[in-house]
Amino acid sequence: MEENGRKKIILTGDRPTGRLHVGHYAGSVKRRVELQESGEFEDIFIMIADAQALTDNADNPEKVRQNIIEVALDYLSCGLDPSKSTLFIQSQIPELTELTFYYMNLVTVSRLQRNPTVKNEIKMRNFETSIPVGFFVYPISQAADITAFKATTVPVGEDQLPMIEQTREIVRSFNHIYGEALVEPDVLLPDNKACMRLPGIDGKAKMSKSLNNCIYLSDTEEDVRKKVMSMFTDPNHLKVEDPGEVEGNPVFIYLEAFCRDDHFQRFWPEYENLDQLKAHYTRGGLGDVKVKKFLNQVLQDELAPIRARRKEYEKNIPEVYRILQEGSQKARKVAARTLADVKAAMKIDYFEDEELIQSQAQRFQA
Ligand code: TRP
């Protein structure tokens, strides 16, 4: 559980602005469960980032509040296990806000303006000239989230890379000025390329609630089937005999992300693996409906146990809130220890520093 004498610790999370979809699952939640089961990590912290969600939803607290329980249910039903991973809510850890305030001194406005994720989101939200300050500085608060838990490992999707880079800069700068109090984290990206960025069912680059192109983890079996059967494929593959394009074809990207050879054995023994299926599709003579039916079977196979676990937790919602409360209490203790280290390093621990009081007393007696 140690690397170079450091304990391996995970911190990651999601903004509660909607239910989680299969893009979240493929890109990160599934991996977290594998990491949780690997036994390689001393501690795993999974955060519902409500404070960050409020940075661009300040006028809609109810949306954030409603989605906290949705995301928690999604986590638990995917197999995140509160006895192995600490699930908590960001806003319940005031230490994170305090750390953010001190880290702000280590980051320039122009550095934030250059952060590609922030730049992109400002464009997407049409903020341009009216960017909320809280939103603008959220990369700094994200650095607080990560460092508060002395995380060594941050498993996230590719879009979060600039955030981790910004965190590493803050850590280096803090440690340089104040002494080694913080841990520089490493990012852990999905190892399957298709999982990195699952497109929407309409073929658009990203699944997004506003585009109405997501398959949600909490969708019913029938919803999933309908969505898969309506998926965008190769627009030039009009007749079954036509050669088809697998590159950039959402149906094949999803298969790339989810199907295993045993799915072929169980559901479509005509092919041994995805390569054979792709070869047939590329050659021509394979209709989209057949491929979609197979994708539906693969997805249902993956989602059925998730759906079943969700049903169980839905019967006991107060218990889910209790899990989050206990997780938040534990997370708070850890963050408080880091904040104490940070304040000592920054020399703002006046009342904890007996030596300071004594030496000042002497100075004024002399
Ligand atoms: N920015 C992440 C998202 O958009 C959520 C998040 C907040 C996060 N703080 C984090 C992720 C720290 C990893 C580490 O969902």
- C-alpha distances out from residue 133 to 48, 129, 130, Å: 21, 11, 9
Asked whether residue 209 is assigned to any structural domain, the reply reads no
* pLDDT attached to residue 155: 94
Does 52 fall in a domain?
yes
CB 148 near ligand 1, within 6 Å = no
Do 170 and 235 share a domain, yes or no? no
Note whether 96 and 83 are same-domain residues.
yes
> 9 and 136, same structural domain?
yes
Q: 46 has which bridge partners?
A: 12, 87
Centre of ligand 1 to C-alpha 143, Å, is: 9
Is the domain of 228 the same as that of 113?
no
Please name the residue whose Cα sits nearest to atom 8 of ligand 1: 13
Global confidence as pTM: 0.93
Alpha carbon separation from 72 to 16, 20, 208, 234, 313 (Å, rounded): 9, 10, 19, 36, 10
Which range marks the domain in which residue 334 is found?
2-197+317-359
* 71 and 193 within one domain: yes
Q: Is there a single domain that holds both residue 112 and residue 182?
A: yes
Please give the pLDDT value at position 125: 79
Claim to verify: residue 137 and residue 92 sit in the same structural domain? yes
> Reduced to 3 states, what is the DSSP secondary structure of residue 199?
coil
Same domain, 180 and 307: no
Q: What is the pLDDT of residue 93?
A: 98
Q: Answer yes or no: is 208 within a domain.
A: no
The number of the ligand 1 atom at minimal distance from the alpha carbon of 52 is 7
Ligand 1 in reach of 43 Cβ (< 6 A): no
Q: Which of 9, 10, 14 to mutate to test the pocket of ligand 1 (most atoms within 8 A of CB)?
A: 14
Check residue 218 and give its pLDDT.
Answer: 94
The answer to whether residues 229 and 258 belong to one domain is yes
Within this chain, do residues 244 and 330 fall inside the same structural domain, yes or no?
A: no
Please tell me the predicted confidence (pLDDT) of residue 2: 59
In a domain, 202, yes or no: no
**Residue 214 counted as domain residue:** no
In a domain, 366, yes or no: no
Chain centroid offset of residue 242 CA: 39
Alpha-carbon distance of 259 to 268, in angstroms, equals 11
Question: How does the average pLDDT of the chain come out, rounded?
Answer: 94
pLDDT of residue 3: 59
Pairing label, strands 186-188, 153-155: parallel
For ligand 1, atom 5, which residue shows the shortest CA distance?
14
Evaluate whether 181 touches 122 at the Cβ level (below 8 Å).
no
Q: For a ligand 1 pocket test, name from 24, 154, 156 the mutation site with the most ligand atoms within 8 angstroms of its C-beta.
A: 156
Specify the number of domains making up the chain. 2
Q: Please identify, among 313, 328, 346, the residue that sits at the C-terminal boundary of a domain.
A: 313
| Residue 89's CATH number | 3.40.50.620
The pLDDT tens digits for 246-265 are 999 999 999 999 999 999 99
Give the CATH number for residue 239.
1.10.240.10
Condensed to tens digits (0 to 9), the pLDDT of residues 251-306 reads: 999 999 999 999 999 999 999 999 999 999 999 999 999 999 999 999 999 999 99
Q: 255 and 152 in one domain?
A: no
Please list the ranges in the chain whose pLDDT falls under 70: 1-5
In a domain, 211, yes or no: no
pLDDT, position 126? 79
Residue of the nearest CA to atom 14 in ligand 1?
12
- Cα–Cα distance list, 283 to 227, 263, 287, 295 (Å): 26, 22, 11, 19
How confident is the model at residue 130, as a pLDDT? 87
Identify whether residues 235 and 324 lie together within a single domain: no
Q: Give the number of other Cβ atoms within 10 Å of residue 360's Cβ.
A: 12
Nearest CA-CA partner of 90 in 343, 335, 319, 318: 335
Residues 213, 217, 222, 223, Cα dihedral to 10°: -20
Question: pLDDT digits over 58-105, tens only?
Answer: 999 999 999 999 999 999 999 999 999 999 999 999 999 999 999 999
Say if 49 falls within a structural domain.
Answer: yes
Q: pLDDT at position 328, please?
A: 98
